[in-house]
Every structure is written in structure tokens, then in C-alpha cells.
Amino acid sequence: MIEFKDVGVRRDGRELFAGANFQLHPGHKVGLTGNNGTGKSTLFALLLTQMGAGDTEVTLDRGEVSIPDSWQVAHMAQEVGASSQTAIDYVLSGDEQWYEINAALNDLSAVSDEQIGVLHQQFDEIDGYRTPTKAAQIMAGLGFKTSQHELPVEGFSGGWRMRLNLAKTLMSRADLMLLDEPTNHLDLDAILWLETWINAFTGLVIVISHDQAFLDATVGHILHVEQQKITLYTGNYQQFIRTRHERMAQQQQAFEKQQATKAHLDDFIRRFRAKASKAKQAQSRIKQLERMAELSPMMADNPFSFRFYEPANMSSPLIEMTQADIGYSDTPLLYNASVQVTPDTRLGLLGMNGAGKSTLIKALVGELKILSGTYRVSDTLKLGYFNQHQMDALDAAATPLQMLRRLAGKTSDAELRSFLGSFDFRGDRIDTPSKLFSGGERARLTLALIVWQRPNVLVLDEPTNHLDLQMRQALTIALQGFQGAVVLVSHDRELIANVCDELYLVHDGQIDEFNGDISDYGKWLAEKRKQENAPDKNTGKKKSKKESKKFVSRETDTGLVNNETSTATIKDKTAQPALSKDEQRKLAAEQRKLTAPIRRDIEDTEKALAKMDKQLITLEEKLADTDLYEESRKSDLLRLLDEQSALQQQHSDNEEKLLLSMTTLEEMEAKFD
């Protein structure tokens, strides 16, 4: 296990945390949370330093960190340099042990016969023959096609290089895995796959993420850094929020009680300090006051508090696209697209990576001219468009105040500073050139400039990529109160669920209304991934002969045998005479009889899940009661939290059971095909 004992760390003369005490065990999935600048990345750097890894050395100011000597660590770095190394080779290099043995086996010129035997034994012990398959599965889960495996790393964009870096990290045979914002460059289908992978990982995972749904689905503990303290909470992110609010309420009561005591002592000292008869008592009160531990008051949770202004003018429709073909260089990517944006539109665009969501967005805002069809906008249209390009186009030399001043005309500096303060630009940051800003600060500034212009249509393409949890919450609340139209592309499921009331699916060149919610989309993605991976398996078998030159693999010959076997099976099937209608009915009846028990299990589990969903909603409504967090009702609060935790666990178990049953049913039905 990892154990922190009274750990304190200072960096650049500033104390980041002090008196940290906690234990983390193998198998724990831990979310590391806290405001920007509180020391999350420093904690990662400290763990890496203690394990003799990492580029940045962080030393202890005091205390002790205990980590088993035998543990290996894998850390997802935030940058990937250009390299001529192929993508699959880069990912495989994450498994250092396999990579070294495989390299030695592919170059036996400097290896003795005895060493060759040892190498093969070591390769067998680490199950090295399956490692290339594991790498291919990880790459597929993160959205890579088989055709991309042999492309050089330098040929991928920055976002895809980050996916390669994540894949390389997941390949490691690590006991401890440190993941820093792993979902930042992933689309929703890759995020859902990553959740499954993390839950199956047997080692200790510590993850920094601003994706609340991702944390809720993966972690069972939260390590929270706040006010130079590190606190370990049990439960996922939602449970952490509940528990923390309870602690904060208790802390506020203790603070208020202490303040009253201090006021009483101060008053006594002030009145009697000069009187000889009371001097001794006054000195005693002074010492008591000095000994009193300083408690912090409950601070407002969120430094961000902004709203979108009410649009000045609106008409309907604001944007209308009808039967449009959309693409580049006269080559359509989307066909016959029809989208209408009215003042009441709350539209979320769904689709796999590369399906054309951003292409549709560019056409809607007029940045990309449609190839055919009609495109009209209202005279009253005032567009607020957020994407990565807008962030990159900020004036690097200008400060937030200067950029806002260009839009604000004669508005006073005091009003502009107050407005920027709602986006947490305060003090020196208001007068700091944007070239010195982090990605999160640039995203906040871009949003601030959009808000100031009072748009009546907001088109947001991945607005949360660089935003922390608090800013995401503020954006969600602001969008809920926005009185104009919203078109949103985001991998943040919480944002889509809380803002959008209609979903469109972009897939196979078409745009259709999606009949379901964001959780239904997750099921749709899983089914599509299963269908799309089927051809990849065949492709992998055909390429096995080529791959054997690069990787030592026992699967090569087996793959060839399997191909022959499957071909023979196909011939046998085609040689069989067609069944009569009576035989088909009997076969269908037999199938229904054999699958009836599993179908009943699926139906019963779905009913149980529906019942639990209602119970969880009822519990959440009860927990939303602010009176529940008073000291007198602490026992009621704890009871409800225990009920919620137990019910969430039951819900999770039943979802897993349902998935297993559905998989079993599919396999049974496949045997009849």
C-alpha cells in the first residue's frame, strides 16, 4: 500500500499541503480532486519522485511517504513528441518488459543459445504472445482503426497523439497508474471504453479528471486537496459531494461557535486588561486566545458565478438548413441534412469520432459553405460560437480587460472587472497577457467574451475540454438559464443531460433524431463498436503472417488454421439445403425454448433496475432537503447516505448482471444463425 504520514510539501516558497495522512491500497480507484493550483500535479510528481521516476523532482518538507519497493508506476504524460515510430510499436513500448525481451528475440546475433532459452521462458511467463493482441484491443477501444497501426506517431494530430500516450500508459505492467485528465481528448465512446478498462484493472489507479460522470463510474475513493489539507473520502464523486457538504456545515457551526468565544475573550481583555484587579484573568484569556486553533469559515464552493444576458432580439427560425449536402472539396461527408434552430432549441449532437459533428457545426454557423440544399439565417441572428479555434485565436499580447474593452465601448472599468471576476479573473490575472494563460483560463476568457456579446444562439463545440469541475457546474447552470438557443457537442454527459432536451445522431453520413437519452447512446455505441470490430478481427488474421516478422507470436499459425477452418465451415453451410418453412418454425420454437430462461432473467433484471431508479430519485429528493444537514438531523442524513450507497451498489451489480445476460443471449442466438 501507499501511506502518507504527516506529509508536508512546499513549492516556490508556498505551502501546498501539510500534515497529510492517508493510506491507499491495491485495487483502489481514487479520484484526485481540488481547485486548480492546490497541488494535484505536485502530488503526482511527489509519488513519481518517491518511486524514482518522472521528470520533475519534488522533495518532502516534512513527513514520510511509504511505497513498496517492488511496485512499478505508469504515468500518463501531457505531451507526446513527434516520432517516426509506428503507432502500434509506440503503444507496445509501454510494456517495457515485453518490449525488451521481444527486441532481444528479434536480434539473436549477440545472444547465446542458453540465453535464447531463458528469453523464451521469460516471454512465456509474461504471456508475451498475447501482448500484441492486447495492444490492438486498447487502440481499438480508444478509437484507432487497424489501418492506423503502422502509421508514424508524427503523422497524428496532437489530440490523437495524446490517445496514443494513454494507450501506451495502459499497456504498462504497473502496480500504480497515475492518469492526468485522461478523457480530455477522448470522445464519448472512448470514454465509456476507458471506464470499463479502469474498473477491470487490478492495481491502484489515481486519476485527475474534471469529468464528473467519469469519476462516478470509475472511482471508489476521492482524495481531495483543499486549504493545504488532503482528505480521503470513501465513495464516488457524488457521495464525496454529499459527505463534504456535511463536513462543511459542521465546520461552519464550529467556526461560528469559536468566533463567538473569541469575541467574548476579546471583549474581556479589552475591558479589564488595564485594571490591576483583573490583569491576571486578562492575561489568562490572552493565552487562551493564542492557543485557540484557527478554524476556517465555510467558503462559497464555487468561485465562478455568471449568467448569460437575455438576448435583445429574436425571431424564429434563427438558423435553417434543409436537405443540405455538407463536406469539403465537393466531396460530401453528410447527406440531406435538415436542421432548424429556433429560440427554444436545446440540441445535443451525438456521434462517433469522425462522423461529422464538427463539420455540421461549421455549416450551421456559416463557416463551411454547404455543397447543395438551402441554408438561411435570420436577420436577428447573433451567434456565440465556441470551439478550439476561438481559444487559439485570442490576442496573445492582450489582457482580459483589454479584450473585453474592445467589445464594451464606454463601459466603466469597475463594471468590466466585476464581470471578469465572475469568471474568476481577479487581481493580477485581469491584467496578464493571455499568452501566459493555461488552457482552462483561455477557455474561460473565450466564454466571457461570448457572454458579453449577448448572443441569441450558442453553438458550443467541446466547451468543457479545459474546464475544471467548478467551472463546468457554473456553465451548466448558466446554460440552463439562457433564454436563447443552444447547439452543443460535448463528451461531458452531465452537461448534455442537464442542458439538452433533444438529441441528434450523426452517423453514416446521415443526421437523425436520436430516440433516447445519453445513457441509451452509450448502449448504442457499445453495439456499434461490437459490429465494427468484427471485420477488424478478420483483417488481423490476414495480417498475422506479416506481423510475425515484427513480433514473436504463437498466434500466427493458429490464425492461419482458424482462417482455413472458418472457410471450411462456410463451405459446409452453403452446401446444406435450405430449410422448409415447417423446419424453420420448429427451429425458431426450439430457439425460443432454449433462450426463454435467459430472456426471463433479462426482463426481471430490467424491472429491478427500473424500481431502483425510482428509489434513487426519491433518495436524491430527500437528500436535497437543506434541513437534513443540520446537526440535529445528522443521524437521518447518515442513514439516507447509507441507503443511497447500498442501493447504488445493488444498481451497479444488476447492470453488470444485465450486460452478462444480454451477452449470453446474443451468443446463444448466434449459434442458430
Do 389 and 517 lie in a common domain?
yes
The set of cell numbers assigned to 483 is 433564454
User: Is position 465 within any domain?
Assistant: yes
User: Is position 563 within any domain?
Assistant: no
Instruction: Quickly tell me which residue has 456565440 as its cell.
Output: 384
User: Is position 450 within any domain?
Assistant: yes
pLDDT score recorded for residue 560: 32
DSSP string, 568-594: HHHHHHHHSPPPPHHHHHHHHHHHHHH
Q: What is the CA radius of gyration of the chain?
A: 30
Burial call 47-85: b when 16+ CB within 10 Å, e when fewer: bbbbbeebeeebebeebebebeeeeebbbbeeebeebee
For residue 452, the Cα-to-chain-centroid distance in whole angstroms is 29
Do 181 and 266 lie in a common domain?
no
The Cβ of residue 428 has, within 10 Å, a number of other Cβ atoms equal to 8
Three-point CA angle 314, 316, 318, nearest 5°: 75
Three-point CA angle 637, 640, 641, nearest 5°: 85
Do 280 and 363 lie in a common domain?
no
User: Is position 587 within any domain?
Assistant: yes
Do 338 and 462 lie in a common domain?
yes
Total domains in the fold of the chain: 4
Do 405 and 434 lie in a common domain?
yes
User: Is position 102 within any domain?
Assistant: no
Do 285 and 412 lie in a common domain?
no
Do 510 and 601 lie in a common domain?
no
Do 447 and 344 lie in a common domain?
yes
User: Within the chain, which residues score under 70 in pLDDT?
Assistant: 78-82, 248, 250-258, 260-262, 264-265, 267-304, 529-530, 532-589, 624-631, 634, 645, 652, 656, 659, 663, 666-667, 669-673
Do 353 and 447 lie in a common domain?
yes
pLDDT score recorded for residue 227: 83
Question: Which residue, 525, 544, 565, sits at the end of a domain?
Answer: 525
Question: Which residue, 235, 264, 282, sits at the end of a domain?
Answer: 235
DSSP string, 640-667: HHHHHHHHHHHHHHHHHHHHHHHHHHHH
Do 221 and 368 lie in a common domain?
no
User: Is position 645 within any domain?
Assistant: yes
8 Å CB contact between 352 and 507: yes
8 Å CB contact between 460 and 486: yes
Do 372 and 511 lie in a common domain?
yes
Judged on CB neighbours under 10 Å (0-12, 13-18, 19+), 579 is: exposed
Question: Which residue, 525, 555, 588, sits at the end of a domain?
Answer: 525
Half-sphere exposure of 352 (CA within 13 A, CB side): 19
Do 217 and 259 lie in a common domain?
no
pLDDT score recorded for residue 630: 66
CA distance 417 to 411: 10
Q: Where residue 487 sits, what CATH number does that domain have? A: 3.40.50.300
User: Is position 305 within any domain?
Assistant: no
Half-sphere exposure of 586 (CA within 13 A, CB side): 5
User: Is position 495 within any domain?
Assistant: yes
Domain containing 277 equals 251-291
